[in-house]
């Protein structure tokens, strides 16, 4: 038995002893089958809503929007995945150096904002607006895959805080992921640590769905009842009628399995050496391999969501910490966090990495070496250690990355 497996067994024994709970691996696959949180028919119906193409007159698409269905931007390599779609965000710094989200003037002379998301489509020319010169902080962001996000939603705030503390202690304060507390649209009690989006702007998949339905597709719903503009606002459907839709989006995402590894590659000697080196140089400080979900029955999201037995008590391997870091790639935009998050980005979880073509939040890197070379700031020392590896050792790390 390999030392690693013995360590895993010991760790599991410890978990059972301490928490009275053995964690089970979260199911993986790009197969469109439910992870067990709902039956297949329910997942399929929820998927149909996620894939539905909305139009202006019946569904109330617009007046401002970016695409006509969730699937439009979340489809590679299977439904619920990522895409090449990039969204535009913008704003400016005021005299005190505080970030202010953009206000843009539409072609009909009315204004939209302050709002950092700049919609790239509209249902009529009057509702199009271009960025003025003042809005000179501009950023593009790629869409993200949703595989396994139901498990991410069910990680406790305490586990994320523990990771942040460990980072601080193990690097003498050089690396410390920043948690931000965000509102839960559907909950009645308090906030949670954000974990979704490049800026950790949401903690709940239902809150994200509500936000995306309004901001990506211009469709109002109970938790996001106000259109960004009245210009060319289609009569559409009153907000409450669209609230079932956002529950369906959340149900579909919560039923997705985690991204599977390429097992052949993962079992190759090179990739295994690469995995050890990945830990050794300190990549795993931020790209944390293993997280856990809370026990089944736990109520999350301000009491609005009860974790099922298919989601609770699971262990999974996102290779991310879901915390914000300054690694010199920051996009200058403040979303739901404080001003000091302006140039921070959530550690990109590396699960499913082999399915991606462009890397970093704006897709500026087109191969893995380029992505790694971009790591500065908090990641300086780690990147230095990577740079000092031999060419062969670097290749092994990349083999490992391609097994994810």
Paired strand residues for 91: 101, 137
Out of 251, 345, 351, 394, which residue is the one contacting ligand HEC (CB under 6 A)? 345
Draw the binding track, 247-266, toward ligand HEC (x: CB under 6 A; -: no contact): --x---x-------------
Q: Kindly state the helix (H) or strand (E) to which residue 387 belongs, with its residue range.
A: helix 380-387
- Strand ordering across the sheet containing 291-292: 24-25, 314-316, 291-292
Draw the binding track, 149-188, toward ligand HEC (x: CB under 6 A; -: no contact): x-------------------------x-------------
Q: Please state, in angstroms and rounded to a whole number, the distance separating the CA atoms of residues 361 and 172.
A: 28
Q: Report helix, strand or coil for 92.
A: strand
Task: Closer to ligand HEC by CB, 227 or 378: give it.
Answer: 378
Say if strands 314-316 and 24-25 run parallel, antiparallel, or are unpaired: parallel
Q: Report helix, strand or coil for 191.
A: strand
Stretch that binds ligand HEC, among 230-238, 300-308, 310-318, 343-351 (CB under 6 A): 343-351
Task: Closer to ligand HEC by CB, 16 or 357: give it.
Answer: 357
Query: CB count, 10 Å around CB of 167?
Result: 22
Query: CB count, 10 Å around CB of 242?
Result: 23
Draw the binding track, 5-44, toward ligand HEC (x: CB under 6 A; -: no contact): ----------------------------------------
Out of 378, 394, 399, 404, which residue is the one contacting ligand HEC (CB under 6 A)? 378
Cβ(116)–Cβ(148) below 8 Å: no
C-alpha distances in Å from residue 179, one per residue of 321, 322, 353: 10, 8, 24
Please state the closest distance from residue 17 (CB atom) to ligand HEC, in A: 31
Out of 43, 73, 203, 404, which residue is the one contacting ligand HEC (CB under 6 A)? 73
Candidates 366, 283, 290; CA nearest to 327 is 283
Binding region for ligand HEC (CB under 6 A)? 66-67, 70, 72-74, 85, 87, 141, 143-144, 146, 149, 175, 196-199, 205, 208-209, 212-213, 216-217, 249, 253, 281-283, 285-287, 325, 327, 329, 345, 347-348, 350, 353, 356, 359-361, 368, 371-372, 375, 378-379, 382-383, 386, 397, 401
């Amino acid at each position: 038995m390999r030392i690693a497996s013995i360590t895993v067994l010991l760790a599991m024994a410890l978990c059972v002893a301490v928490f009275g709970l053995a964690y089970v691996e979260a199911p993986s696959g790009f197969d469109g089958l439910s992870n067990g949180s709902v039956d297949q028919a329910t997942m399929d119906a929820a998927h149909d809503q996620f894939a539905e193409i909305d139009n202006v007159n019946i569904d109330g698409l617009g007046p401002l929007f970016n695409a006509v269905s969730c699937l439009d931007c979340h489809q590679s390599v299977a439904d619920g995945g990522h895409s090449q779609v990039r969204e535009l965000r913008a704003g400016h710094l005021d005299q005190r150096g505080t970030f202010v989200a953009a206000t843009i003037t539409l072609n009909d002379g009315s204004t939209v904002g302050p709002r950092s998301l700049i919609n790239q489509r509209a249902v009529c020319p009057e509702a199009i607006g271009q960025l003025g010169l003042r809005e000179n902080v501009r950023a593009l962001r790629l869409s993200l895959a949703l595989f396994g996000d139901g498990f991410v939603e069910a990680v406790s705030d305490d586990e994320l805080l523990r990771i942040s503390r460990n980072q601080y202690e193990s690097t003498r304060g050089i690396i410390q992921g920043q948690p931000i507390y965000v509102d839960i649209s559907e909950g009645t009690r308090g906030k949670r640590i954000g974990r979704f989006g490049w800026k950790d702007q949401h903690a709940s998949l239902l809150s994200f769905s509500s936000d995306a339905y309004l901001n990506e597709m211009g469709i109002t719903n109970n938790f996001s009842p106000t259109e960004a503009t009245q210009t060319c606002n289609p009569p559409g459907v009153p907000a409450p009628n669209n609230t079932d839709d956002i529950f369906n989006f959340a149900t579909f995402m919560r039923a997705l399995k985690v991204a599977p590894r390429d097992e052949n590659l993962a079992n190759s000697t090179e990739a295994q050496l690469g995995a050890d080196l990945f830990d050794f140089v300190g990549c795993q400080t931020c790209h944390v391999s293993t997280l856990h979900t809370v026990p089944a029955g736990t109520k999350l999201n301000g009491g609005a969501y009860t974790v099922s037995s298919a989601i609770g008590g699971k262990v999974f391997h996102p290779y991310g910490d879901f915390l914000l870091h300054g690694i010199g790639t920051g996009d200058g935009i403040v979303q739901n966090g404080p001003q000091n998050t302006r140039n921070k980005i959530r550690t990109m979880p590396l699960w499913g990495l082999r399915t991606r073509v462009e890397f970093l939040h704006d897709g500026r890197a087109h191969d893995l070496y380029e992505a790694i070379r971009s790591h500065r700031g908090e990641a300086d020392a780690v990147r230095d250690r990577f740079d000092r590896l031999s060419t062969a050792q670097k290749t092994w790390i990349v083999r490992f990355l391609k097994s994810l």
